[in-house]
Chains A and B, each alone.
Chain A
Amino acid sequence: MYRILPYGILFAATALLQIFLFNQLSVSIYLCPLVYVAFVLLLPLELPHALVLLGGLASGAVMDWTMGTAGINTAATVLLAFLRPHVLRLLCRRDDAREEGVPSVERLGKAVFLNYLAVLVLIHHALFFALESLSGQYLLQTILRTIVSGTATVGFCWLIARLFTSKLSVRI
Chain B
Amino acid sequence: MYKLFEFIRSVHVVLLFVLIEGAAIHFYAHSTSFTQARLLTGSNRIAGGVHGFFSGIRRYFTLGRENRILLDRIATLEEQLAGYRAAGDSLLFARYMEGADKGPYRLVTARAISNSVNRSRNFITLDKGRRDGVVPDMAVLSADGAMVGYVATCSDRYAVAVSALNTSFRASGKIAGSDYFGSIHWDGTDRNTVTMTELSKYASPEPGDEVVSTGYSLYFPADVPIGRVESAELNENKTSYTVRIRLAADMTALGDVILVENRGLDELQSLQEP
Per DSSP, chain B at the interface is helix
- What 0/1 readout, one digit per residue, does chain A (22-40) give for beta carbons within 8 Å of chain B? 0111111111100000000
Chain B residue nearest in CB terms to A66: B43
B31 close to A138 (CB less than 8 A)? no
C-alpha spacing A19/B114, complex, angstroms: 10
Q: B114–A24 contact, CB under 8 A?
A: yes
Whether, in the assembled complex, B27 has its beta carbon less than 8 Å from a beta carbon of chain A, the answer is yes
Residue of B17, B24, B188 near A141 (CB, 8 A) is: B188
A interface residue count range (under 10 / 10 to 19 / 20 to 34 / 35 or more): 35 or more
B188 to chain A, nearest CB (A): 6
Cβ-defined contact, A68 with B24, below 8 A:
no
The interface stretch among B91-99, B119-127, B215-223 is B119-127
**Number of cross-chain contacts by CB at 8 Å:** 106
B76 at the interface (CB under 8 A from A): no
For window 179-199 of B, CB contacts with A under 8 Å fall at: 187-191
Nearest CB of chain B from residue A150's CB, rounded to whole Å: 14
B20 and A78 within 8 A (CB): yes
Known A50-B13, A71-B25; judge A57-B50 contact (CB<8 A): no
**B118 pairs with A132, CB closer than 8 A:** no
Chain A: which residue is nearest B39 at the CB level? A68
CA distance A31 to B118 in the complex (A): 7
CB-defined contacts of A50 to chain B, threshold 8 Å: 12-13, 16
B119 / chain A contacts, CB cutoff of 8 Å:
32, 67, 69, 132
- Judging by beta carbons under 8 Å apart, are A72 and B17 in contact? no
Residue of A32, A60, A68, A82 with most chain B CB atoms under a 10 A cut-off: A68
Closest A residue to B116 by CB, please name it. A23
Cβ-based interface call for B117 (8 A) = yes
Q: Say yes or no: is B129 at the interface (Cβ < 8 Å to chain A).
A: no
A132 contacts B120, C-beta separation under 8 Å: yes
A145 to B60, CA, bound (A): 31
Residues of B within 8 Å of A60, CB to CB, are: 24
Bits for A95-113, please: 1 = Cβ < 8 Å to B, else 0: 0000000000000000000
Residues of A within 8 Å of B42, CB to CB, are 65
Q: Which of B20, B40, B42 has the most CB of A within 10 A?
A: B20
- Chain B residue at smallest Cβ distance from A25: B118
When distances are taken between beta carbons in the complex, the residues of chain B under 8 Å from A70 are 27-28, 31, 35-36, 39
User: Are A78 and B39 within 8 A (Cβ)?
Assistant: no
Q: Which residues of B contact A32 (CB under 8 A)?
A: 118-119
A24: shortest Cβ distance to chain B, in Å? Answer: 7
* Interchain CB contact under 8 A, B24 and A20: no
- A141 in contact with B36 given A29-B118, A71-B27 (CB within 8 Å): no
Known interface pairs A53-B16, A53-B20; A68-B118 also in contact (CB < 8 Å): no
With A53-B17, A67-B116 given, can you name 5 additional A-B contacts, CB distance below 8 Å? Answer: A24-B114, A29-B117, A31-B118, A68-B39, A75-B21
**Residues of chain A at the chain B interface (Cβ within 8 Å):** 19-20, 23-32, 49-50, 53-54, 57, 60, 64-72, 74-75, 78-79, 82, 131-133, 138, 141
Report which B residues bind A (CB closer than 8 A). Answer: 12-13, 16-17, 20-21, 23-28, 31, 35-37, 39-40, 42-43, 47, 50-51, 54, 114-121, 123, 160, 187-191, 252
